[in-house]
Amino acid sequence: MPKDTGRKLIASNKKARYEYLIEDTVEAGLVLTGTEVKSLRQGRASLVDGYATSYGGELYLEGVHIPEYSQGTWTNHAARRRRKLLLHREEIDKLVSKAEQAGHTIIPLSLYFKDGRAKVEIALAKGKKLHDKRQTLRERQDRREADRAMSAHLKRRR
């Protein structure tokens, strides 16, 4: 039986880029139980309240909701349990030292399968102020208006 190849997106944190200024991203593996993997294969997860913390020199993902597997029995997992991230020591040390600075945090951006293994893209992020969020919305709106004007102009030229 051939393994899955490529990247299959399970969940993404769409609000993260609006709420935070992303400074650095890293791909990390996850330590999961069997029912968590089966639930992820059904495409069910939520990263909205997720964040990463450091305990005993390891990095853990917390607040990520992976619902219980529907056909699971007493072996089912807790939906919001703490999950260990698999990273190299240098990556952990770098992320933790930067996250200890004021206003920085480590958040998950996306959860996906890569070549059959569950991976999470985590980011070192700094919270945006209200005026930064308004600026982001303004830029997005300006980009949309420019794209509309360009497409309307191209349609008139034909």
pLDDT score, position 72: 63
Domain that includes residue 147, residue range: 129-158
Shared domain for 43 and 114, answered yes or no, is: yes
Confidence of residue 1 (pLDDT cuts 50, 70, 90): very low
What mean pLDDT do residues 87-96 have? 88
- Domain count for the chain: 2
Shared domain for 50 and 81, answered yes or no, is: yes
Q: Is residue 16 part of a domain?
A: yes
Tell whether the model's pLDDT for residue 75 goes beyond 80: no
CATH number, position 69: 2.40.280.10
Shared domain for 22 and 91, answered yes or no, is: yes
Tell whether the model's pLDDT for residue 31 goes beyond 60: yes
Shared domain for 135 and 106, answered yes or no, is: no
Shared domain for 122 and 134, answered yes or no, is: no
Which tokens go with 71? Answer: 């056909």
Sign of CA dihedral 110, 111, 115, 118: positive
What mean pLDDT do residues 53-82 have? 76
How far apart CA 44 and CA 141 sit, in angstroms, is: 31
Name the average pLDDT for the chain.
81
Strand partners, 46: 65
How far apart CA 66 and CA 40 sit, in angstroms, is: 7
CA distances from 45 to 12, 68, 76, 143, 150 (A): 9, 10, 15, 31, 38
Shared domain for 60 and 137, answered yes or no, is: no
